[in-house]
Structure 1
Amino acid sequence: MSAQEALRLTSVLEQELDRRQAAITLWNDIYKGSQNLGFASERFKAAFGGLFEGFSDNWSEVVCDAPSERLCPVGFRFGTGDEKDPPAADKDAQRIWQSSNMDAWSRVAHTEGSVKSRAFALVWAADPDADEVEPEITVEDATQCIVAYEPGSRRKRKAALKRFDGEDGYQYSTLYLWDELWKWRRKVSGSGLILPSSLALSRWEPRGDRPDQQRIDNPLKRVPMVELRNRPRLTDDPTPEHQQVIPLQIAVTKLIADMLTASEAGAFPARWGTGIDLPKDPLTGQEIDDPELWKLAVNKMLRASNPGAKFGNFEAADLSNFVAGITLLTEHISALSRTPPTYFMGKIQNVSADALTAAEAGLASKCRIKTTFLGEDWEEVMRLAFLVKGDEKRGNNPLAETIWRDVEYRTEAQHIDAVLKKKALGVPWRQLMEDAGYTPTQIDRMERMLEEDANRAARSLAFKVPGEEDLGAGQDQQADPEVVA
């Protein structure tokens, strides 16, 4: 591809990336709870000013975090196609995963995808000039990256673009193709913010002075960026986890703001009085209507000199209606997002373990579906990592499999009881350990410890008990008549 063609493709991808920015920013702001009081009434603002400026009863964060915190890849397998040789967890894949700190950053990728509908993983050589090239996996943000697919395909990646702002007043971008990379930069109005292409002060130009700083060969022969889509669809774009509950989230916060306004205006019982003689001006004889006279509080008392004066209280505002409305909306949020109701309750009382398991069935089912799609993405990431190392066999192996930690939360007693029942059915030991929640690294360590225990037991049986040889010799000597003679 020529430089002009690469520049045109960069412009096309950049326009689509700009189109996504507004929605991603809104989803992220709702997740952080930073826009929930934008609808506050003038009465609320007059009553509280900026007192609750940072307030947010934010359930969107719970809806997004509930599934992402249960998605934890713990290893990878690469099948051989031979059923007689079942694959174990690949140790090289585990080392690559650990060296890129993906135990932690994969959690970030799942959270980002849950909030922004997409996350990205980039695979490239950590040091291309090293004697032994090692892969590096990095998690990329949806505001900076985009992947384009071949026409009519949702799997075959055609190109990818990463755009970010530097601290030197330049904006940088890299176009990833199956056979080459193109690097660009341009001057922007400021730094520290990812600016859309319409705000750029200049067009893209080569990043460096030498030709090899602009175009780089791609030895992987595959686009090295993978898109992790949340709730993928065939023709529609992926969506964030909290998209359908955003209106309910805004309604919850509005009801709480209204309740605070009502508590300020009517929760304190208002007092009334009749037949009160107002003080008079000694010079004019006119009644003085002093506003301070009617500013009542808990520590103030009303009194009157007129014997016919009467006093009383209005009923305080009932806030239970607001509480009922907020409870109803949070129940709808729970049902629509399949987030367990226990996540929305301040306390749990008299709930059995079976009831908790049933309440989490929807979330567990949703997480299992996510592991299916995300597992395919992480397998492609690991194949790219092996291609970086020059391992064509595992880099093109279609039988890769992601090993996930169990997405269900169960007590230790329930977990071990289930494992023992599987053992009675004849499930192999290593599979039992995986079902028990141990990682491949922990299972390998336990396997070595079992071998050491077995060797130690065998060595102890190889020696006779002290005194056993003397006792046996005496018995043989008594049994031989010639020796006795």
Structure 2
Amino acid sequence: MADVSPASLAKQLLAILHRDGDRLKRIDDYDNGRHDDPYMPPQADDEYRLLARRAVSNWMPLLVNTPAQALYVDGFRRGTIGEAGIPIGGEGSRSIEWAHWQRSRLDARQSAVYRGALKFGHSFVLTEKTSRGVKSKGLSALKTAALFEDPANDDTPYAALTVISWPKGEELGKARMWDTRSEYEVTFKSLWDEDGVRVGKGKRHGASECPVTRFAAVIDLEGRTVGVIEPMIALQNRINQTVFDLLVAQTYGSFKVRYVTGMAPPIERDPETGEPVLDEAGQPKPLPLNHNARRFLFAEDSDVKFGSLDETPLGGFIDSIDMSIRHLAAVSQTPPHHLLGQIANLSAEALLAAETALARKIAEFKAAFGESWERVFRLAAELEGDTSAAEDFAGEVIWRDMESRSLAQAADALGKLKEQLNIPERGLWRRVPGVTQTELDDWEQMREEDDGQLQLATALIRATPEPEPALEAIAA
């Protein structure tokens, strides 16, 4: 039987951080522009190394930011229970789940969770009770590890650990660890020193399962997660190498070289004696030629020949860079115009076709991250004491529609949906571009107030007696 004691779990989790540390650090370096140097000859001088540093063209943040900027949770819709479809608890911003979201300031902080998952392949969110209520916060994969019985299919870890501070000299590193019932304080000398791991006494965290939720961008049946950067490192290195070769050719061979044969250069002479001035080797010291575009070269000797060497063409290097970027766009499912900036003379249909692959990838991320957020909301409800909402597996997050279209186009489409398909108008409110959950709640309240005023006006009209006919009318 496997050892599931807190000390054993802590050692396993620290070992995972040690095992994955180098790989994740390399991914982080590439995201921040710290790339491998391009190939250079062994005797390369400082000028070559300067060109190598300038050759880094970091495309990695764009691969992360492009899908991350299309991911934005705008609300949460609770599920229903019973055959009659009775809603569980409050809806919209009145639910305790969304109140926890606002308290955690996840409107702004959710982007960091997505970027971490897209960069490293996974990130984590911790949901816990604080002095100001239940809150959730993101945890980096560089400092956090989790254990699953079935890492490919389980969304609930049976233990997780995050590093609070790394060891420095004689100072021990500190970490927090959670299992299905308790939270522990962990100290350690290093990630690979099992004998230096110490686990403090546990305290109940209040949830019925580990309160750490994994956000995996892409996960296979082996439980391995992969982000958008690691598969692109080889292509990024190819682009850097080509840019470096371009800079070398541009620096040393992009201009014509003029030459002259059969003519000795002018030498420096003593102004008093007229004798040549000798250098340290005993040879006449040549004078520099003051030559530019406004001066001519001439010689008295007919055997002197002038000529020039052609510059190195740079078009091939530029075409190679363009090709590599297109390969990067195809493999990463990023529209080429996002990378190349070539958007002129593209029709709406062409733009839609170019965005199709990216849209499919974003839809995949929404499905994966949406399930993780739903677990976070269930944990928040459980910690708030709402047992029915904690068992609500039919709830779903509402993603903001980030498609670019005008309000007039959206209004026309929504009007046709209402008229032609007889969809209730309240069901179409969420499809208005840019609408937030708070605005939806305000609209709902305004509609209820308007309905109440209309009912009151109708009741008053019905209660008012009909006026009696005038005497003149009766006499007539």
Q: TM-score range by the shorter chain?
A: 0.7 to 0.9
- What TM-score results when the alignment is normalised by the length of structure 1? 0.83
* Secondary structure of the structure 2 residue equivalent to 1:22: helix
Map of 1:98-109 to 2, 5 A cutoff? Answer: 98-109=102-113
Equivalent in 414, 426, 430 of residue 430 of structure 1:
426
- 1:75 Cα deviation after fit: 1.6
Q: Residue 270 of structure 1 corresponds to which residue in structure 2?
A: 257
Q: For residues 298 and 52 of structure 1, do their structure 2 counterparts lie closer, same or farther at Cα, with a shift above 3 Å needed? A: farther
- After superposition, the C-alpha distances for 1:388-428 in whole angstroms (9 at most, x for unaligned) are 11111111222121111125333444433332332231222
- 1:63 Cα deviation after fit: 1.2
- 1:148 Cα deviation after fit: 0.6
- 1:226 Cα deviation after fit: 0.7
- After superposition, the C-alpha distances for 1:41-100 in whole angstroms (9 at most, x for unaligned) are 568754355366365312221111111111111121221235754755463221110110
Equivalent in 443, 446, 449 of residue 443 of structure 2:
446
For 1:203, the aligned partner's letter is G
For 2:177, the aligned partner's letter is L
Q: For residues 342 and 241 of structure 1, do their structure 2 counterparts lie closer, same or farther at Cα, with a shift above 3 Å needed? A: same
Q: Residue 60 of structure 1 corresponds to which residue in structure 2?
A: 60
Equivalent in 254, 267, 270 of residue 241 of structure 2:
254
For 1:480, the aligned partner's letter is I
- 1:17 Cα deviation after fit: 1.5
Q: Is the 8 A contact 2:7 2:199 kept in 1?
A: no
Q: Residue 122 of structure 2 corresponds to which residue in structure 1?
A: 118
Q: Residue 181 of structure 1 corresponds to which residue in structure 2?
A: 183
Quick check: 1:341 aligned with 2:328?
A: no
| Cα distance in 2 between the residues matched to 1:413 and 1:338 | 30
For 1:95, the aligned partner's letter is A
Map of 1:327-476 to 2, 5 A cutoff? Answer: 327-424=322-419, 425-437=421-433, 438-453=435-450, 476=470
Structure 1 segments unaligned to the other structure (5+ residues) = 128-132, 189-194, 208-213, 465-471
Identity %: 24
- After superposition, the C-alpha distances for 1:298-339 in whole angstroms (9 at most, x for unaligned) are 677544343553323222211110111011111111111110
* Secondary structure of the structure 1 residue equivalent to 2:346: coil
Q: For residues 259 and 38 of structure 1, do their structure 2 counterparts lie closer, same or farther at Cα, with a shift above 3 Å needed? A: closer
Q: For residues 296 and 204 of structure 1, do their structure 2 counterparts lie closer, same or farther at Cα, with a shift above 3 Å needed? A: farther
| Cα distance in 1 between the residues matched to 2:147 and 2:424 | 43
Q: For residues 384 and 54 of structure 1, do their structure 2 counterparts lie closer, same or farther at Cα, with a shift above 3 Å needed? A: farther
Q: Is the 8 A contact 2:51 2:248 kept in 1?
A: no
Q: For residues 222 and 463 of structure 1, do their structure 2 counterparts lie closer, same or farther at Cα, with a shift above 3 Å needed? A: closer
- After superposition, the C-alpha distances for 1:125-147 in whole angstroms (9 at most, x for unaligned) are 012xxxxx721101001011111
Q: For residues 335 and 410 of structure 1, do their structure 2 counterparts lie closer, same or farther at Cα, with a shift above 3 Å needed? A: farther
Structure 2 segments unaligned to the other structure (5+ residues) = 462-466
Quick check: 1:94 aligned with 2:98?
A: yes
- 1:285 Cα deviation after fit: 11
Q: For residues 298 and 58 of structure 1, do their structure 2 counterparts lie closer, same or farther at Cα, with a shift above 3 Å needed? A: farther
Q: Is the 8 A contact 1:226 1:381 kept in 2?
A: yes
Tell me which moved more, 26-35 or 112-121.
26-35
Q: Is the 8 A contact 2:10 2:186 kept in 1?
A: no
| Cα distance in 2 between the residues matched to 1:360 and 1:292 | 59
Map of 1:287-306 to 2, 5 A cutoff? Answer: 288=284, 290=286, 292-293=288-289, 302-306=297-301
Q: Is the 8 A contact 2:253 2:312 kept in 1?
A: yes
Equivalent in 472, 477, 480 of residue 474 of structure 2:
480
- 1:170 Cα deviation after fit: 3.2
| Cα distance in 2 between the residues matched to 1:84 and 1:375 | 26
Q: For residues 460 and 151 of structure 1, do their structure 2 counterparts lie closer, same or farther at Cα, with a shift above 3 Å needed? A: closer
For 1:118, the aligned partner's letter is H
| Cα distance in 2 between the residues matched to 1:371 and 1:39 | 40
Q: Is the 8 A contact 2:333 2:357 kept in 1?
A: yes
Q: Is the 8 A contact 1:173 1:183 kept in 2?
A: yes
* Secondary structure of the structure 1 residue equivalent to 2:137: strand
* Secondary structure of the structure 1 residue equivalent to 2:127: strand
Q: Residue 204 of structure 1 corresponds to which residue in structure 2?
A: 197
| Cα distance in 2 between the residues matched to 1:427 and 1:335 | 39
For 1:226, the aligned partner's letter is T
Q: Residue 11 of structure 2 corresponds to which residue in structure 1?
A: 11
- After superposition, the C-alpha distances for 1:269-292 in whole angstroms (9 at most, x for unaligned) are 111223323336764799847384
- What TM-score results when the alignment is normalised by the length of structure 2? 0.85
For 1:388, the aligned partner's letter is L
Q: Is the 8 A contact 2:177 2:184 kept in 1?
A: yes
Q: Is the 8 A contact 1:160 1:175 kept in 2?
A: yes
* Secondary structure of the structure 2 residue equivalent to 1:162: strand
| Cα distance in 2 between the residues matched to 1:180 and 1:54 | 51
| Cα distance in 1 between the residues matched to 2:430 and 2:68 | 21
Q: Is the 8 A contact 2:152 2:220 kept in 1?
A: no
| Cα distance in 2 between the residues matched to 1:215 and 1:32 | 38
Tell me which moved more, 393-402 or 316-325.
393-402
Q: For residues 414 and 313 of structure 1, do their structure 2 counterparts lie closer, same or farther at Cα, with a shift above 3 Å needed? A: farther
Q: Residue 28 of structure 1 corresponds to which residue in structure 2?
A: 28
